[in-house]
Structure 1
Amino acid sequence: MKTKVEGLIQRCDRPDFTPGKRHFPELLELAVSDDESIRKKAISAWLRAGAPGLDWLVRELEGQEFSSTFRARIARVIQRFAADDVGSSRVQMQELLKDPDEQVQRVVIQAMGQWKDAEEVQLEALLLDHWNSVKELATERGIIKTLGRVGGEKSLALIQDYVDRLEEIDEATQKTIDKTRLEIERRLSRSEANGLDLNVPVQARLRIFSKPGLEFLVQDELKEHSLVSNTPGELECDWDAPLIQLYNSRVMLGFAIVTSSESTRGGLGQALARLLQKKSVLGVLKRVTRGPIRYRIEWMDHGKLRAETLEAAKLLSEGSPELVNDPSERDWDIEVYQVKKSIYALLKPRVEDTRFLWRQEDVPAASHPTVAAALVRLAQVFDRAKVWDPFMGSAQELIEAGKVANEVILVGSDTDAAAIEAARKNLDAAGVKAKIHQTMAQRLDITGQDFIITNPPLGWRIHGPHSVGKSLESLFKEVIPNLSRALKPGGKLVWMSPNPKLTDPIAKAQGLELRMKKPVDLGGMNATLQVWVKR
């Protein structure tokens, strides 16, 4: 037979079990058990008891003599209530800060840094007031750590005074002090206005990204800047203009400022601090950034490297206080790469891409807007042209065509109801008009088109409603003839072929002439960008 305690442990696992007063004595024993798994189950059940469970626990703590270890464990149970500000839990935790045993105090101090929606100024004052009564190093370290989450200028002053008074600081305490200072400085800097200004002229080495295979279109869009591509999906140039001009490219995915290299002498943390404080690097960051330069460091070849990140952030804070390590509110992502015994960094600004603000909804297998832009640019859509997208998806190609030319007559079709709905929302947001049909590409009766611009879905949608159980080959044997019929003589089919060996013979048999082809990596799926002209 199960004992009463064993039965209670099992009941604690049930979400529908809410303990009552008669369960509390045994539940307390479980909540302070040496077995962590039992403790977790008991505390979860106790939280379901709400304020009555909290009140009983507080009365029990006040009315009996417990060992410091037992009181500390009870304090951890109360802290679970305090985290969500249940009843008087936070008041009770503050009372426990007066406990004569510093083990109990440390539980309270640690808990205060985790309270949601707490008044930080009040917590800071409480901890600073408690500081002078502390005798143990572990408790001092705990207060310093929590001040990193709730402290301000007064906390920085206390920490500096503490450092000045100590003859020697052990490594663990020094790390806590360094991290707390950075956290406080980060939070204080958020009160200052900040942001990026891409309209100021910048001289820097830039790396510009695109889908591999589409580099030539970005080069054409930004031809005055003489972009060079040595790696698929990447282009570089020496830039001397406002960064905002990069957004004249609609095929570009993004960009980064490329720093010079720096020796790893002294370790990676020191090397990165030296690199970011170089005049050529810091000067660009200052020029583009309004207010504090908030950043996040990512070591691309090594993983997180927390110690090196902390060392670099500390050195940067001391040497260039305008640089603030603030991952959650950053304006810059700093990607660090190591090449033999040196490092360099890519400085990536975090700005809103205003080119495609019309994107309200997407569907699986829909084109990325930059791919749609590539197709439309290659097509060279002209004013009052007729354009059909037979695999419309969420209307990326139609919108792009409607943006680059005037009075374009747009038609889109798709069998997927979700795609139809997404397309309508995106078209409305873009202010572009199009006639939408929910039908198969091989069945729409349409003629006289100047352009067919499309990116057939390469994944599940091509094997879904469009295929009605057909093979890919039999599907395109039906679709491509209808595309050819829809084009006027001289009209263009600009698309991403999912399988040129399959589609090219069919297209040629339908009177289409291949004018251009280029393989493109669409992010793990390969396709071929093609331009066909109807003879």
Structure 2
Amino acid sequence: MAVDEAYARFRTLHRSELRTREVPRYAALAPQERLKQVGLVRAVGAVFGEHGTPEEKAWARAWMLELLGDAQEKIRRYAVQALPKLDSGPEEESALLGLRTRAAGVREREAVDAALEKIGGTAALEALGGAAPAARLLANAARRGDPGRIVFDRPLLPLPGLRLHLRGRHGLEHWIRQEWEQHPHLSTMFRLIECKPGLVALRPLAGFTLGDVFSLRCFGSLGLSVGLVKLAAGAEQMDALARLLASSASQRILAAFQDGPPRYRLEWVGRKTAEPLLRQITGKAFQLCPSILNDSRQAPWSAEIHPAPGGSSLEWRPRLVPDPRFSYRVGDVPAASHPPLAAALAFWAGREGTQEHIWDPFCGSGLELIESARRGQVAQLYGTDLDPVALEACRANFAAAGLSGLPLGLAACDFRSGAAQTGIRPGSLTLVISNPPLGRRVRIDGLRSLIADLFAVAATALRPGGRLILANPVRMDSPHPALRLEEQRTADLGGFDCRLEKWRKV
């Protein structure tokens, strides 16, 4: 069996089959047969690297370390090449350094050096000497020793030229801006520079923390823009970007907002960029400032190059997974709401001086209800959904958000019978808020009649003056005369535009 054919066959097997059947079978083969089926080694590295649990990866690493002692160079080389895919660390680095001293030839030594460049640390840097990619190995060592964390309570003092880019889906910028303008403190800490589709740009007027910025909930990501590089010839532009990466402004941002050695991943947004070009930029930046390390693996920051009028801007984006604003999302369901969209809909609904009685007819995992509850003045919440699993996720998310003490009535039912199932009385609600099925990911027959029925049940359940906030996937107005359209906007809901509407019962 050819090596590629063996790999292709083994690659289709589940991890349990590879571990319990194929690897023991491989160990029992004669040396020449093992060589013919060496594709198994490559397949284990790929399958366990992509899908393995930490325990399974540890098992796969142990097997690869065992194979480093195999008598056949090709088998050893395949094990060497598999190790970087398996979250290898100091133990594997030490084993590779040992193999490097007894490598059978140039090909094996090159494979070991390539693997060490990916997983090695300071020991590999010392062994490889001047041939080593120092930045990568130092990043590996930093990740192992002190991976660092984003800091939310340390202030960044005023920095000339700094711009805060609050980015979100196109159409949400209206609420991103309004939320900032209505904030009791942040509205005086920043000045508006620009508001355009998908972006609100602010200029800091005083020192601020990341905690200050992340008290806003309607934006999707934060970029700290340190400068603009004008369009220029290739090498000149690359050098200018490297200087921004290594600039004093970048160093001050990373020192204020991160503990541990600063590490970043460079990304050119909206452009396919060859890896050698990115390495050229990061290599030059490392020469200028060796303390800022480029690292594609689990880096706390993304350094993003965004298109800008006349050139490109460089932005530092904290990589926050999960986003601390929405860390209550311990339960999820397919086609759940985009969290900043749920926050924007809840913000748009506002508060009008009364204790709110709120219903989400398609509550899913509860994001719109939770974001509404976080705004306070809530007397009662209701949620309905056809899927009982979604309601369990909703309950779990409410508990994780610290809102389990609020009155919450949930029912697994069609929204048309939701009022009867949950005890909602006609004319009792102040707010109906929902991101209903949109018919995009899953086809929905009769979507237009479904939305018409939603208008009808909302008109019945709302008290005079109550609001209906919804994403409307069909171009239709309310067929119910008691609902009057107050405001309508269009936003990107994940690759397509959808109308967001605010109705009021008269």
Alignment TM-score, normalising by the size of structure 1? 0.73
| CA deviation after TM superposition for structure 1 residue 293, in Å | 1.3
Deviation at 1:514, TM superposition (A): 2.4
Q: What amino acid sits opposite 2:369 in the alignment? A: L
- Residues in 2 aligned to 1:455 and 1:77: alpha-carbon distance in whole angstroms: 48
Residue 404 (structure 1) aligned with residue 375 (structure 2): yes
The equivalent residue for 1:54 is 27
Q: Structure 2 vs 1, CA of residues 93 and 315 (structure 1 numbering), >3 Å: closer, same or farther?
A: same
Determine the structure 1 residue equivalent to 2:142.
189
Deviations 1:157-196 (A, max 9, x none): 3333xx4xxxxxxxxxxxxx354x3332222112135222
Q: 1:449 to 1:316 in 2, by over 3 A?
A: same
2:438 alignment partner, SS class: coil
- Tell me: CA distance 1:244–1:488, structure 2 relative to 1, closer, same or farther (3 Å): same
Partner SS, residue 235 of structure 2: coil
The 2-side partners of 1:355 and 1:184 are apart by 34
Query: Secondary structure at 2:127's aligned position in 1?
Result: helix
Say which is worse superposed, 424-433 or 391-400, in terms of deviation: 424-433
Question: CA 1:86–1:517 in 2, change beyond 3 Å: closer, same or farther?
Answer: closer
Q: Percent identity?
A: 24
Q: Distance in 2 between matches of 1:82 and 1:440?
A: 47
1:376 aligns with 2:349: no
Structure 1 spans left out of the alignment, 5+ residues: 1-29, 62-70, 97-103, 164-176
Distance in 2, Cα, partners of 1:108 & 1:237: 55
Secondary structure of the structure 1 residue equivalent to 2:135: helix
Secondary structure at 2:113's aligned position in 1? helix
Structure 2 distance, partners of 1:42, 1:150, is 25
Is 1:222–1:248's contact at 8 Å kept on the other side of the alignment?
Answer: no
Deviates more, 1:518-527 or 1:331-340: 331-340
- Whether 1:277 aligns to 2:277 is no
Question: CA–CA distance in 2 between the matches of 1:86 and 1:157?
Answer: 24
C-alpha contact (below 8 Å) 1:210/1:234 kept by paired residues: yes
Please name the residue that 2:458 is paired with. 483
Helix, strand or coil at the partner of 1:404: coil
Q: Deviations over 1:337-360 (max 9, x none)?
A: 466985432221112422222223
CA displacement at 1:219 relative to structure 2? 1.4
Instruction: Decide whether aligned partners of structure 1 residues 407 and 322 sit closer, same or farther in structure 2, where only a CA change above 3 A counts.
Output: same
Q: Within 5 Å, give how 1:124-135 maps onto structure 2.
A: 124-127=96-99, 129-130=101-102
State the SS of the aligned residue for 1:251: coil
Paired residues for 1:440-451 under 5 Å: 440-443=414-417, 444-445=419-420, 446-447=425-426, 448-451=428-431
The answer to whether the Cα contact below 8 Å between 1:458 and 1:525 also exists between their aligned partners in 2 is no
Q: 1:89 to 1:492 in 2, by over 3 A?
A: closer
Deviation readout 1:60-111 (Å, 9 max, x if unpaired) = 79xxxxxxxxx9x579579669977799985674363xxxxxxx65763563
- What is the total number of aligned residue pairs between the two structures? 457
Partner residue in 2 for 1:64:
none
Question: What SS is found at the alignment partner of 1:235?
Answer: strand
Check the 8 A contact 1:261/1:343 in 2, yes or no. Answer: yes
Following the alignment from structure 2 to structure 1, what is the Cα–Cα distance between the partners of residues 304 and 463? Answer: 50
Residues 422-478 of structure 1 show CA distances to partners (whole Å, capped at 9, x for unaligned) of 3233233332431123333334353222222222221269975xxxx6x34444444
2:218 matched residue in structure 1:
251
Question: Which protein has greater RCO, CA pairs closer than 8 Å, 6+ apart?
Answer: 2
Separation in structure 1 between the aligned mates of residue 63 and residue 174 of structure 2, nearest angstrom = 66
Specify the SS of the correspondent of 2:222: strand
Query: Is 2:467–2:503's contact at 8 Å kept on the other side of the alignment?
Result: yes
Determine the structure 2 residue equivalent to 1:297.
Answer: 266
Deviations 1:393-430 (A, max 9, x none): 22222222222123421122233334333323323333
The answer to whether the aligner puts 1:459 opposite 2:459 as a matched pair is: no
After TM superposition, give the deviation of residue 57 of structure 1 in Å. 2.6
Given the alignment of the two structures, is residue 350 of structure 1 paired with residue 308 of structure 2, yes or no? no
Q: TM-score, normalised by structure 2?
A: 0.77
Once residues 376 and 301 of structure 1 are traced to their aligned partners in structure 2, the CA distance between those partners, rounded to angstroms, is 31
Cα 1:349/1:409, change in 2 over 3 Å: same
Instruction: Give the secondary structure class of the aligned counterpart of 2:241.
Output: helix
Specify the alignment match of 1:387 in structure 2: 358
Residue 209 in 1 paired to residue 167 in 2?
A: yes
Q: Does the 8 A contact of 2:80 with 2:112 survive in 1?
A: no
Distance 1:205 1:111, change over 3 A: same
Offset of 1:386 from its aligned partner?
1.7
Give, in angstroms, the shift of residue 276 of structure 1: 0.8
1:7 maps to none
Q: Which residue of 1 aligns with 2:48?
A: none
Larger Rg computed on CA atoms = 1
Q: Is residue 498–residue 528 contact of structure 1 (8 Å, CA) maintained in 2? A: yes
Q: Letter of the aligned partner of 1:306 in structure 2?
A: E
**Structure 2: runs of 5+ lacking an equivalent:** 46-58, 182-186
